[in-house]
Structure 1
């Protein structure tokens, strides 16, 4: 039995895209970001600016390093309402740089081979569509068919709403980490085991 229990949302449709396909949707990706992070953008924080966000998106989808990047866009009656993306971590990943593991063997914990850990990088829902369970639906859609053993994501410690949701969805904290991106804040590192496909 799957551990994913998203409520059915009337009219919702999901499309999955590779890195190359995602780059063709750059304007739509930016629009969803701008409509999802209105307050963060207005804060003036450099890391949250649309320019900084799209710079990161371009790096994630760069053909030279994108690998198995996967984007999911949710649409309701054809209107984009949210998106989520991530990728499996390889042996060359920089994802764990700066990790301060709470407990356990850090070398063993960060050993990646391309099939151990899926990094869930972004989930966002446009403001007019919030409160309908779309974030959870995107989360479940992106992770449901992943073959990796576990998933990781970064969340700001003061983002209580997101933090509470992730805990309800089966995530737990293991560490703190500050990404190498310019002006990046410190995040809590959350982990979640992924269900084994018994089919």
Structure 2
């Protein structure tokens, strides 16, 4: 039995690794509740190619030997983000939604292939993705369907809580938006 290893890539280096984890993405997201097909995968590729242009982009890939078993990526929310404005069922104060490019780190994807779940790999991806991130808070979204309950349970155990329901783009499904305080902001004296 091999040991799972984790490799982290940052900034422009993340662009070179899509082909390495794309097959894992296709396998993971073919399952319920996602049921993604070729059109969805093509859309993911397009989104990823935009995401890698962000200077704060981070990617972590988990491997069992040479086989990719999971991945996670994210970045800091930019000042012009629509992240908080996509919430449908809550009105957040402007001060909460204000971003400066270093306040909130968003986890865009965190996924593990079925055969490697419940082995601590998701926690390992999460920890390595956030290692060294100096943010006030971390945010992510998760599907509300029962099939996503294991992910939601993990996020709750890691200190996240739901703040609203997100509809990130036209035609997208609904997601629960979750937040976790990452550090206490400096008090002004």
With the length of structure 1 as denominator, give the TM-score of the two structures. Answer: 0.81
Q: Which has the higher helix share?
A: 2
Equivalent position of 1:168 in the other structure? 157
What's the counterpart of residue 141 of structure 1? 128
Q: How does 1:1-199 map to 2 (within 5 A)?
A: 11-40=3-32, 43=35, 49-61=40-52, 63=53, 66-100=54-88, 102=90, 105-158=92-145, 159-180=148-169, 182-195=170-183
- Whether the 8 Å contact between 1:101 and 1:174 is mirrored in structure 2 is no
SS of 2:150's partner is helix
Tell me the secondary structure at the aligned position of residue 86 of structure 2: coil
Q: Where does the alignment leave 5 or more consecutive residues of structure 2 unmatched?
A: 185-189
Structure 1 contact 88–116 (Cα < 8 Å) conserved: yes
Q: 1:41 to 1:164 in 2, by over 3 A?
A: closer
Where do 4+ consecutive residues of structure 1 move more than 4 Å? Answer: 44-47
1:59 Cα deviation from its structure 2 partner: 1.8
Backbone CA RMSD of aligned residues: 2.3
Count of residue correspondences: 181
Is the CA contact 1:99–1:178 (under 8 Å) kept in the aligned structure 2? yes
TM-score (structure 2 length as normaliser): 0.84
